[in-house]
Amino acid sequence: MNALLAIIARDIRLAFRAGGGALQAVSFFALTIVLFALAVGPNLELMSEIAAPVLWTAALLATLISLEQIYRADREDGSLDVLVETSSLLALTALAKATAHWISTGLLLTAATPVLALLLNIEGAALWPLILSLLIGAPGLSLIGSFAAALTAALPRAGLLIAIIVSPLYAPILIFGAGAASAGAAGDPQYSANLALLGASSLFAAIFSPLASAAALRFNLD
C-alpha cells in the first residue's frame, strides 16, 4: 500500500515539474475553450446549447495529449524495471499510475472548469451536472488512456497510435458525459440515466485497464 501511494505521489510530483504534463494539459484545455468561445462569438443561445459537448471534447483532447508519457518516460530511464521488480501485483501498480494521471490531469481540468465554463455561458445550476459528469467520467479517460500508453510504451512518437487506439474506447464516455452535462443543464430526465451509464463505463475501465496494462507492460519490458 505504501509503495502504491509512493508511486502516486511521485507521478503527481513529476507532472508538475519541468517537462511534466499537468500544466500542458490544463493550458491546452483552457486554450481550446477560449478559441472556441471567440469563434462562436456573442450568440449566447447557441453557446449554451453546445457548451457541454465542447467542454467535454476539450477535456478529452487535453487528456489525450498527456497520455504518451505515462509509461514511455519510465521505460526510457529504467524506472519501469524498478516498478516491475518491486510490484507484488503489476495490475495494482498500473492502477496507481492511472490514478496519478487522473489527479494530475482529469481532476485539474475539472477544477478549472467553473472558470472556463463562464466563457461558454454555463452558470449556476447548469454547472453542477457538468462538474459531476467530469468527476465521474475523467477517471475513465485516464484508465483507458493509460492502457493505450502501456501498449505503446516501447514505441517512439506513439501519439497518433494512442489516439487511434483510444478513440473508439473513449466514445461511450464522451457520449454519456456530454449527454449527462447537457441533459442536467436542461432539466431533462435522461440526466440520471446518462450519469449511470457514464459511471458504468468508468467502472468497466477500472477493471479492464489495470489488468490489460499489466499484460502490455510485461510484453514491453525487453
Q: Specify the residue, 83 or 138, whose C-beta has the smaller distance to another protein.
A: 83
The least CB distance from residue 13 to another protein, in Å, is: 7
Note whether 129 and 183 are within 8 A (CB). yes
The least CB distance from residue 164 to another protein, in Å, is: 24
Give the three cell numbers for residue 217.
507492460
Q: Specify the residue, 16 or 128, whose C-beta has the smaller distance to another protein.
A: 16
Note whether 97 and 70 are within 8 A (CB). yes
Q: Specify the residue, 9 or 125, whose C-beta has the smaller distance to another protein.
A: 9
The least CB distance from residue 34 to another protein, in Å, is: 29
* 8-state DSSP, 66: T
Q: What are the DSSP E strand ranges found in the chain?
A: none
Q: Specify the residue, 90 or 178, whose C-beta has the smaller distance to another protein.
A: 90
Note whether 57 and 178 are within 8 A (CB). yes
CA pair distance 148, 213, nearest whole angstrom: 8
Q: Specify the residue, 52 or 90, whose C-beta has the smaller distance to another protein.
A: 90
CA pair distance 69, 29, nearest whole angstrom: 18
The least CB distance from residue 93 to another protein, in Å, is: 10
CA pair distance 59, 153, nearest whole angstrom: 23
Instruction: Note the residues at the interface with another protein (CB under 8 A).
Output: 2-3, 5-7, 10, 13-14, 17-20, 76-79, 81-86, 221-222
The least CB distance from residue 83 to another protein, in Å, is: 8
